[in-house]
Chain A
Amino acid sequence: MAGAISSFGVQKTAARNSATSESLWVRLVLISVALVFLTLFLFLPLFIVFNEAFAKGAGVYWASITEPAAAHAIKLTLIAAAIAVPCNLVFGLAAAWAIAKFEFRGKQFVITLIDLPFAVSPVIAGLIYMLLFGRQGFFGDWLGENDYQIMFAIPGIVLATVFVTFPFVARELIPLMQEQGKEQEEAAITLGASGWKMFWRVTLPSVKWALLYGMILCNARAMGEFGAVSVVSGKIREQTNTLPLHIEILYNEYQFAAAFAVSSLLALLALITLVLKSVLEWKAAREHELAVRAANAQ
């Protein structure tokens, strides 16, 4: 199947004649410029992470990623992502349903507002919770009296993570569901299906790839967030240290091999994310193609 797609690309390029394509040397120069740029800014940074991670051998590498502080940071990072992804998934589905399937005033503005967490600096994302729940914050006295700790503790880290990953699922679903229209759901309802039945049988199957795609991106960002989490965490080892913060501490202590070893875990996560993304895009494209073919056959 993958072969079929790439051969389609070749055909398309071959169809261009000399009048609508560039001479060989122009093509070579442009390809070289693109590859040099990508090498300097993408490939080398990725490569150096793994190179430096093993600079002091596999023993140091293994010790760096299994020591208690690293293990705890991995656990905390997983917890933060495990809470942030489902929360933003439910929000994304609810927001996309209201926005894509109904007409109401101010809709365009609502769509813009959903993007706001992408536009603000991660440092601001941490700062706003500090101002609410920090010791000098709006709720600081009340929290102190009742002995609740949000800042410099896990709840603060989770909140900051939820904020920075807030739009991911909604952004993937809204344009797709708008494009799909509402005829199928309307048919289900008028044929007597209940709201939940319609959701599980009609809506969810038709958006499943986009939904997974949004969740994967959301997860990658949740596990890798640095700025927002570093404001609210306090960076206490084995207590409030996530993986990216652990990298910073190791780096500032000049433990470069250890810092890159832990980094290589997150770089691996990024590579897995990109592979899954490609697979999902391919699945969605194939399903779309099959649907078009079925429609044409009728």
Chain B
Amino acid sequence: MSETSFAALTTASLFSKSKNSWVKKSVLPGFGLSLGLAALYASLIVFIPLAGLVIKALELSWSELWSVVSSARALASYKLTFGAAFVAASLNLFFGFIVAWVLVRYQFFGKRVVDALVDLPFALPTAVAGIALTALYTTNGWVGQWFWLADIKIAYTWIGVTVALTFIGLPFVVRTVQPVLADLEAEIEEAAASLGASRWQTFERILLPALLPSMLTGFALAFARAIGEYGSVVFISGNMPYKTEITPLLIMTKLEEFDYAGAAALGTVMLIFSFVLLLFINQLQHWSHKRAGG
């Protein structure tokens, strides 16, 4: 035992001689190798290509850049992309919360299978989801025909885009709320009830505030995922310029017309937005961990 601690001491003192101010000394090996390898790989695959996107966009002059990203067709695509993503994430917030609640608190037949299937949108390829949803929600589809009776067209309208985005964002709210809800102490609810709170009051004043950070995180994740989605949407949207054309599809169209700089300009707008959203989500997760921990 004393030998081990002696060895630890000598190794520690050996390492403390090397002066690396931005990294804390450690007896463990492989920091340089692992970080170097990871950084090299990440640069080659992700960062240098992404920088190339921004550089390509900057080949345009500011006025050209502005006219591309603020053209009527681009503005219509932002409106659809962000609008449908927002509605889809809101639907997922509301129904996803109920699904998480039911899965954590109640017992019913087939619950374990339902729980496992919630992750399906993560595992099912988007093209498969796209054609399946289209078949289901066209005017003669199993679901779409009932809405068509009420004169509501789902596939090939903005509603169809929203349906596809709801599908691909479905697991996020469920999976962020579920663990937090499962970890809540029953004692707090018992205390509230014994102090005379009604069930609704307990939910509104005690449970909802505790679950809010995880709900918001799930919402933001679903929203972020929906904004970039392409595969499932192209089948159900109909892809009409100004009407049902999402921004990723507009980028695709520009590429097919060999307008690389225009595609890069639109891509850069989306990249910046995604990055800001990612930083925001990280802050949210940090906040919800602190809430859960404290």
Contacts and interface: CB of A to CB of B under 8 A. Distances in A.
Nearest to A159: B45
Main secondary structure of the interface of B (DSSP, over half): helix
Contacts of B274: 116, 119-121
Contacts of B27: 186, 189-190
Interface stretch (A56-64, A94-102, A204-212): A94-102
Interface in B91-107: 95, 98-99, 101-103, 105-107
Contacts of B166: 41
Contact of A13 (B47, B106, B163, B275): B106
B28 A189 contact: yes
B26 interface: yes
A162 B114 contact: no
Contact of B278 (A112, A136, A138): A112
A38 B56 CA distance: 43
A121 to B, nearest CB: 3
A277 B224 CA distance: 24
Contacts of A270: 120, 123-125, 128
Contacts of B2: none
A21 B119 contact: no
A48 B136 CA distance: 7
Sorting the interface of chain A by its residue count into under 10, 10 to 19, 20 to 34 or 35 or more gives 35 or more
Contact of A274 (B119, B133, B167, B260): B119
Nearest to B48: A132
Given A42-B120, A129-B49, A226 B230 contact: yes
B132 A48 contact: yes
A124 B229 CA distance: 11
Contacts of A6: 112
A66 to B, nearest CB: 19
A270 B129 CA distance: 11
A135 B189 CA distance: 64
Contacts of B47: 113
Interface stretch (B29-37, B62-70, B72-80, B211-219): B29-37
A293 interface: no
Contact of B258 (A91, A136, A186, A230): A136
23 contacts: A13-B105, A34-B103, A103-B24, A111-B282, A119-B228, A124-B267, A127-B263, A128-B53, A132-B49, A136-B258, A136-B260, A166-B45, A182-B28, A190-B11, A191-B4, A224-B123, A230-B252, A244-B128, A251-B131, A256-B135, A266-B127, A269-B123, A274-B120
Interface of B: 4, 7-8, 11, 22-24, 26-31, 33-35, 37-38, 41-42, 45-47, 49-50, 52-53, 56, 95, 98-99, 101-103, 105-108, 112, 114, 116-129, 131-133, 135-136, 142-143, 163, 166-167, 170, 186, 189-190, 193-194, 199, 202, 224-225, 227-231, 235, 247-249, 251-252, 255, 258, 260, 263-264, 267, 270-271, 274-275, 277-279, 282
Interface of A: 6, 9-10, 13, 15-16, 19-22, 27, 30-31, 33-35, 37-38, 40-46, 48-49, 52, 87, 90-91, 93-95, 97-98, 101-106, 108, 111-124, 127-132, 134, 136-138, 159, 162-163, 166, 182, 185-187, 189-192, 195, 198-199, 217, 220, 223-227, 230-231, 243-245, 247-248, 251, 256, 259-260, 263, 266-267, 269-271, 273-275, 277-278
The 4 closest A-B pairs by CB, nearest first: A224-B125, A121-B228, A226-B231, A227-B230
